[in-house]
Amino acid sequence: MPFLLLIIVGAAAGFLATRIMDVRTDVPTTIAIGVGGALISGVLMRFLLAIGSFAFGAIGALLGAIFVIWLWQRFSGRS
């Protein structure tokens, strides 16, 4: 079933992409374009998500540490 779904989504994406780019191709080429685009974008999105999650984690850790320092200074009487 996932393979059939990949072909259907690939055909739709390939059809839209070929129409937007004004390229006339046959049905197998249109499907191949869509499936190839889906694979490339899937890899790219996974990479960006991995980089983004690391960056957001580092930012969150920094903000958390700043908050802990603020709490410590506020309630311990230190400045």
Question: What's this model's pTM, rounded to 2 decimal places?
Answer: 0.61
- Cα gap 70→73, rounded to integer Å: 5
| 18, 24 contact by CB (below 8 A) | yes
pLDDT-derived band at 79, boundaries 50, 70, 90:
low
Report, as an integer, the average pLDDT of 17-25: 91
**Span 31-77, pLDDT tens digits:** 899 888 888 888 888 899 988 888 898 898 999 999 998 999 889 87
Q: Is the pLDDT of residue 30 over 70?
A: yes
- Report which secondary-structure segment, H or E, holds 59: helix 27-76
Residue 9 tokens, joined: 């989504």
Q: pLDDT value at position 19? A: 92
**Residue carrying the six token digits 């709490």:** 71
